[in-house]
Amino acid sequence: MIEALRRVKEKLEQSFDQPGAYDLDQCLRELEQLKTAADDKQQMIEDVIRAVTHAKNAQAQLANAGDESAINAFAEAYRALDQAIESYSNADNDPV
């Protein structure tokens, strides 16, 4: 699970650096598959899917104008992926 999230994060970074050169649809398909195996973390994966979808939709804006809202969409997706990776990295992440 964590390796798949890292791959998606890497593709997101590449897509930000070179908008239009990378298609985030494959990442979204991979995340949908992860969601089915996420058990109690399905909502978190749904949030990641939503954030990556926003980034995908903002690719054209980023490529054409470097629009601030497009940059924010990528930042949101990046943070969501970071949180998901952290969630799977730290097995005991529940507050005591």
Kindly state the tokens that stand for 54. Answer: 């926003």
When pLDDT is cut at 50, 70 and 90, the band that residue 96 belongs to is: very low
Domain ranges of the chain: 1-91
The DSSP call for residue 93 is -
Q: Using an 8 Å Cβ cutoff, are 80 and 46 in contact?
A: no
Kindly state the tokens that stand for 62. Answer: 């980023």
pLDDT (tens digit per residue) in 54-90 = 999 998 888 777 778 888 999 999 999 999 999 988 7
pLDDT (tens digit per residue) in 17-64 = 987 778 899 999 999 999 998 888 999 999 999 999 999 999 888 877
Q: Using an 8 Å Cβ cutoff, are 52 and 24 in contact?
A: yes
Crossing angle (nearest 10°) for helices 25-36 and 2-17: 160
